[in-house]
Structure 1
Amino acid sequence: MPTALVTGATAGIGRAYARRLAAEGHDMVLVARDAERLGELADRLQTRHNVRVEVLTADLADAAQRAQVAARVGDVDEPVDVLVNNAGFGTGGAFWDLSTDVLQRQLEVNVAAVLELTHAAVRQMRERGRGDVINVGSVAGFFTASGSTYAATKAYVIAFSEGLATALTGTGVRVMALCPGFTQTEFHQRAGLEMSKLPRAFWLQADQVVHESLADLRAGKPVSIPGAQYKALVAIGRLIPKKLQRMVVTRTVPGRT
Structure 2
Amino acid sequence: MRQKIRPKAWLAALAATVSAAAVLLAPATAHARGPERAAAGYLNLHQCLYYSGSATNHFTTVVPSSDGRFLAGSNVSATADSRPTCGAGDGNYGLVPVLSGVKALDLRAGRYLNVHQCMYYSDAATNHFSTVVPSSDGRFLAGTNVSDTADTRPTCGAGDGNYQLVPVLSGVRTLDLTTGRYVNLHQCMYYWDGAANHFSTVVPSGDGRFLAGTNVSATADTRPTCGAGDGRYQVVPVLSGAKAFDLA
Normalised to the residue count of structure 2, the TM-score between the two structures is 0.31
Normalised to the residue count of structure 1, the TM-score between the two structures is 0.30
Between structure 1 and structure 2, the one with the greater Rg is 2
Greater fraction of residues in helix: 1
